[in-house]
Structure 1
Amino acid sequence: MSDTDFSGQAVLITGGASGIGYAAAQAFAKRGARIAIADLNQDTAQAQAATLGDGHIGLGGDVSTEATADRLVSATMDAFGRIDVLINCAGMSDTFLDTIDQTAEHWQRLIDVHLTGTFVMSKRAAREMIAAGYGVVINISSIAGILALPRRNAYTAAKHGIVGLTRNLACEWAQKGIRVNAIAPGYIRTPLVQNLIDQGKIDEKKIRRRTPLGEMLPPSAIADAMIFLASPLARTVTGVNLPVDGGYTVYGGMVDAAEIED
């Protein structure tokens, strides 16, 4: 059995019906895991789970509430009898408004989904993991958890918060057999990001020029990092925020990082 064989393990993925979450579902299912895809729309979650083959489930709910967190974890336990890996991938896009035009309602909603959702899901899943003496939690931060993204206050604050939460939980649960890490994706070509490109809110060419690898990474690049962090290969890795961004966050030059064709 290889270090990246997840046969017999159960993986719960919030925001798992599209983008990075669905890429993760495909990657873990390919390696033998049983997948619980959780998404806001249950029908969508069930349809996407069905594409993975037999033995996977789709669940619906708003991850920002403790009641939903309890229901999602309980349903995963009922279906599989265990939960080995939790991936907190549920999220939503921020506004691109000047700060003085942003609303507290939008701020709170985004914080609730990204940060509070990560907290309540991790807390509830940890009960099962502590009882089993083993578990892996992977949170999705962002380059916005490392850098400033002006006019995207709620998103930036939430992602920085996820990094802090990841470090706290990693230290608290290390002796209980639970590893907690975060991944900080760069601009990944998900349906959400593609929509922002199409709306003219993100300039793809500028991003590629700013990225040393000169490309926007596919969702599978993040899934590959998740496979590593969830595997025995990373058995001594906990509390990290791993950038998977093509070098975006380390580049500080005065000129373009990469030459690309227009």
Structure 2
Amino acid sequence: MMFRLSLLVAALSAFALTTTAFVPTSKNAIATRSSSDYLSNAMNQVRSSSTSSTSALKMAAGVDLKGKVAFIAGVGDSSGYGWAIAKALADAGCTIIVGTWPPVLKIFQSGLKKGSFDEDAVLSDGSKMVIEKVYPLDAVFDTPDDIPDEIKNNKRYAGLEGYSIAEVAEAVKKDYGKIDFLVHSLANGPEVTKPLLETTRKGYLAASSASAYSFVSLVQKFGPIMNEGGSALSLTYIASEKVIPGYGGGMSSAKAQLESDTRTLAFEAGRQYGIRVNTISAGPLKSRAASAIGKEPGKKTFIEYAVDYSKANAPLAQDLYSDDVGASGLFLCSPMSRTVTGVTLYVDNGLHAMGMALDSAAMARE
């Protein structure tokens, strides 16, 4: 049981790290593979299970977001929840702009240009989502003064500038004036595989910075350029409130921070900017980064264990698709939830409600 929980944790951590503040394990893979190999392999790995048909998007039929603008922070491919939320908003007519982690920016832009993500961009009417603009964004830096020379001189950041949160907010203001929706699809825990008792201060604070404070900073910088009635949204995980052995490195603490900050920001940003602030606690998804974790011949990957665990134990024994989370994100951004703020919405087939594992040997009955 402990082994399977650890696998579940590692997988859920991995899919949460498919964004701007990328987990170090995956950086090496990106650095050593060509863009074409990276894209084709990643898309083949996850397309069959991470997205569903456009049926989940049909709930947008009664929602009209034409004229609205959404900034999605943490989109670097088409397999994660950030992409799914962007697609759901686009299906309702919203203009989509995104922030992408600098080291994967060129790969992502190349994929968009080549049509590598077209199959996952199909909307309910058969058209394709258009990402109007892609901004380089590293959400662990609030202002340009925070960026150390080692990052500025890193070849993976070569030729790029204006990627701190404050600079991106200013660029978006210049390009679009005001926006309506802000989506935080970011997380990173460099020591996530370490138990909390072995986690360093540096690793703990890094997890908090990338996974929790980044949302605070985004709301700080983007709040002033958001229209009243707008919505800010983030993604969290159940380890914020329940002990999940193996989910280490300070990530459970970071997720708890994120949820607590969501409630405080709901009050402060609600009063100051007239916007709503919520978070989605999502279940396991076979995303790109998660699919690469624990990939050994003849063995299940971490995410495969996580998906199997969820289907065996959740109240709803069914697959969770990224479009399911996208539809929930649409709801939290739309006028349908105009009085909903400070909420953690579980989109996990009810797994969060379970207190015991049904497939545990201890539950076997003679």
Deviation at 1:182, TM superposition (A): 0.8
Q: Report SS of the residue matched to 1:37.
A: strand
- Residue number in structure 1 paired with 2:167: 71
- Residue number in structure 2 paired with 1:188: 285
Q: Bigger shift: 52-61 or 85-94? A: 52-61
Q: Structure 2: which amino acid aligns with 1:247?
A: G
RMSD: 2.4
Q: Structure 2: which amino acid aligns with 1:173?
A: A
TM alignment of 1:208-219, pairs within 5 A: 208-219=311-322
Deviation at 1:66, TM superposition (A): 1.2
- Residue number in structure 2 paired with 1:6: 65
Q: Is the 8 A contact 2:213 2:258 kept in 1?
A: no
Count residues with an aligned counterpart. Answer: 255
- Residue number in structure 1 paired with 2:48: none
Distance change >3 Å, CA 116–CA 3, structure 1 → 2: same
Q: Is the 8 A contact 2:97 2:131 kept in 1?
A: no
Distance change >3 Å, CA 78–CA 45, structure 1 → 2: farther
The equivalent position to 1:43 in structure 2, one of 85, 89, 106, is 106
Aligned mates of 1:119, 1:45 — CA distance in 2: 26
Q: Is the 8 A contact 2:312 2:358 kept in 1?
A: no
- Residue number in structure 1 paired with 2:238: 143
Matched, 1:241 2:344: yes
Q: Structure 2: which amino acid aligns with 1:157?
A: S
- Residue number in structure 2 paired with 1:224: 327
The equivalent position to 1:62 in structure 2, one of 120, 131, 138, is 138
TM alignment of 1:119-138, pairs within 5 A: 119-129=216-226, 132-138=227-233
Deviations, residues 28-64 of structure 1 (Å, cap 9, x unaligned): 2222211111121332454466666556111112102
Aligned mates of 1:145, 1:59 — CA distance in 2: 30
Q: Is the 8 A contact 1:189 1:219 kept in 2?
A: no
Deviation at 1:201, TM superposition (A): 3.9
- Residue number in structure 2 paired with 1:260: none
The equivalent position to 1:116 in structure 2, one of 209, 213, 219, is 213
- TM-score norm. by structure 2 comes to 0.64
Q: Structure 1: which amino acid aligns with 2:135?
A: L
Distance change >3 Å, CA 229–CA 193, structure 1 → 2: same
Distance change >3 Å, CA 88–CA 117, structure 1 → 2: same
Distance change >3 Å, CA 252–CA 103, structure 1 → 2: same
Q: Is the 8 A contact 2:332 2:340 kept in 1?
A: yes
Q: Structure 2: which amino acid aligns with 1:113?
A: A
The equivalent position to 1:83 in structure 2, one of 179, 190, 208, is 179
- Residue number in structure 2 paired with 1:252: 355
Distance change >3 Å, CA 46–CA 59, structure 1 → 2: farther
Aligned mates of 2:225, 2:111 — CA distance in 1: 25
Q: Report SS of the residue matched to 1:134.
A: strand
Q: Report SS of the residue matched to 1:84.
A: strand
Deviation at 1:197, TM superposition (A): 5.8
Deviations, residues 206-239 of structure 1 (Å, cap 9, x unaligned): 3321222224412111111100000000001011
Q: Is the 8 A contact 1:136 1:179 kept in 2?
A: yes
Aligned mates of 2:350, 2:341 — CA distance in 1: 22
Deviation at 1:178, TM superposition (A): 0.7
- TM-score norm. by structure 1 comes to 0.87
Q: Is the 8 A contact 1:39 1:90 kept in 2?
A: no
Deviation at 1:146, TM superposition (A): 2.9
The equivalent position to 1:102 in structure 2, one of 199, 206, 209, is 199
Ranges in structure 2 where 5+ consecutive residues have no aligned partner: 1-59, 119-127, 144-163, 361-366
Q: Percent identity?
A: 23
Q: Is the 8 A contact 1:186 1:244 kept in 2?
A: yes
Q: Is the 8 A contact 2:290 2:302 kept in 1?
A: no
Distance change >3 Å, CA 139–CA 254, structure 1 → 2: closer
Distance change >3 Å, CA 255–CA 11, structure 1 → 2: same
Aligned mates of 2:65, 2:284 — CA distance in 1: 28
Distance change >3 Å, CA 107–CA 44, structure 1 → 2: farther
Aligned mates of 2:268, 2:137 — CA distance in 1: 28
Aligned mates of 2:253, 2:184 — CA distance in 1: 17
Q: Report SS of the residue matched to 2:293.
A: helix
Aligned mates of 1:62, 1:34 — CA distance in 2: 22
Of structures 1 and 2, the one scoring higher in RCO (CA 8 A, sep 6+) is 2
Q: Is the 8 A contact 2:177 2:225 kept in 1?
A: no
Deviation at 1:128, TM superposition (A): 1.4
Ranges in structure 1 where 5+ consecutive residues have no aligned partner: 258-262
Q: Is the 8 A contact 1:28 1:227 kept in 2?
A: yes
